[in-house]
Structure 1
C-alpha cells in the first residue's frame, strides 16, 4: 500500500493517466462480469424450464402464455412470437413459400437473441487484450521517470534504484490483475453463450417443424 501511495503521489501526468485507465478498465470489466453472470445464469435456467414447459403444453397459445411468465431474459419467447407473426400482404416476404417465410423469421429472431446474450463480450475481450500492455507501458514510463530523477542527483545506488523501479513494476502487476479476470470471464461466458445457442437452434428447428406440420 505504501508503494501505491508513493507512486500516486510521485507519479507524473502519464503515470496517473495509466493508473486511472487501468482502474476504469477494471471497474467496467467487473460491472460486465457481474451483470453477465446474472443474465446468463437466468438465461440457462429459463431455457431449460421454458423448453420443457413449452413442449408439455397442449397448444401453442398455452405454451406462449407459459413462456411469457417464466422467460425472464426473453430467450425463447421472441422465437415463438416471430414464428407466429403475420405476413404483410403484398410484401416481398409474402411472395416466398410459407416454409421460407417461417425460416427467415426464426433466423432473424435467433440472431437478435444471440446478440443480446453476447453483449459485453467485446469489452471483456478488449480489456483482457489491452490492459497488460497498458500496464507494461506504465512500467516502462515509470522506470524511465525514476531513472531521470536518479540521474539528476548525480549518484546511483541500489537503495535509490530499487524503490522507484519496484513502484513502477506495480503497473505490470496491475495490468495483469485487470486482464486475468476479464479473460477468464470471457471464456466462461463464451461457453455459456454457445450452450444457449445450441439449445435455441434446436428449439427453433423443432418449432418450425411443429408449426409446418400443424399448418
Structure 2
C-alpha cells in the first residue's frame, strides 16, 4: 500500500496533472508562459540561422573589396549583394556619385555627406538585427514576474483551502503550492534561454557594428583620397 500511495502521489504531482488541477488563472499563466517560451525559441533559431553567418560573410566581402583596385567595377559587380557590408558600400558609392556628378565638387561637403550616409547605413543594419531581439529582452524581463504572479495566486488558493476546510495538513495545501511552484518553474524556463540568447546575440551585434564601422572608416578614407585627386 505505501508504494501504491507514493506512485499515486507522484502521478498527481506530474506536470500534466499540475496543469489540469490548476484553476483558470494559473492555467492562463502557464499557457501564456509556454507560448512565450515557444516564441523565444523560434526567435533564437531564426536569428541563429539568419544572422549567425553574417560576420563571416561581411569579412569575406570586405576582403574581396580591399583586394579590388576598381571601386566602380566592384560596385557594378557586387554592389547589390544581400550583405550588410555591401549595403554600407552601396550607400557610400551612391552618395559619392551624386556628390561628384557636377564639375565643381564641394570636397568638404562631399566628405560630410559620405560620413553621414555610411553611418546611417551602419545604424540601419544594426537596428534591423537588434529589432529581432526585443522579444528576448521582454520575455527575459517579464516571464519571471508572470510566473511569480501564478505562484502568489496558487498560494492564495492554498490558504483559502485551509480556511474552508479548517485543516492545515500538507494534503490540503500541497496541491496549490505545487501548482504555484510549477508556474514559477515555467516562468524561469521561458526567461533563462531568453536572457542567455539576448546577451549572446547582443554581443554578436556589437561586434558586427564595430566591424561595419571600421569598414566604413576605411572606405571613407579611400574615397577622401579620391576627392583629393579630383
Query: Normalization by structure 2: what TM-score?
Result: 0.82
RMSD value over aligned CA atoms? 2.2
Structure 1, residues 148-187: CA drift from partner, whole Å, max 9, x if none? 2343233221222223312321111111111111111011
State which of 170, 174, 183 in structure 1 corresponds to 2:186. Answer: 174
- 2-structure distance, mates of 1:130, 1:209: 45
User: Is structure 2 residue 197 aligned with structure 1 residue 210?
Assistant: no
Aligned residues: 208
SS of the equivalent of 1:58 reads coil
State which of 24, 29, 32 in structure 2 corresponds to 1:21. Answer: 32
Answer whether contact 1:54 1:66 (CA < 8 A) is retained: no
- Give the deviation of 1:98 after TM superposition: 1.0
State which of 152, 169, 191 in structure 2 corresponds to 1:140. Answer: 152
List alignment gaps of at least 5 residues for structure 1: none
Answer whether contact 2:162 2:172 (CA < 8 A) is retained: yes
- Which of the pair has more CA radius of gyration? 2
Structure 1, residues 108-162: CA drift from partner, whole Å, max 9, x if none? 1111111112122221111111111111110110111233234323322122222
> Which residue of the partner structure matches residue 120 of structure 1?
132
- Give the deviation of 1:95 after TM superposition: 11
List alignment gaps of at least 5 residues for structure 2: 1-10
- 2-structure distance, mates of 1:67, 1:98: 20
- 1-structure distance, mates of 2:117, 2:208: 19
> Which residue of the partner structure matches residue 109 of structure 1?
121
State which of 183, 188, 192 in structure 1 corresponds to 2:204. Answer: 192
Answer whether contact 1:132 1:172 (CA < 8 A) is retained: yes
Stretches of 4+ moved more than 4 A in 1? none
Answer whether contact 2:18 2:178 (CA < 8 A) is retained: no
User: Is structure 2 residue 83 aligned with structure 1 residue 79?
Assistant: no
Answer whether contact 2:148 2:184 (CA < 8 A) is retained: yes
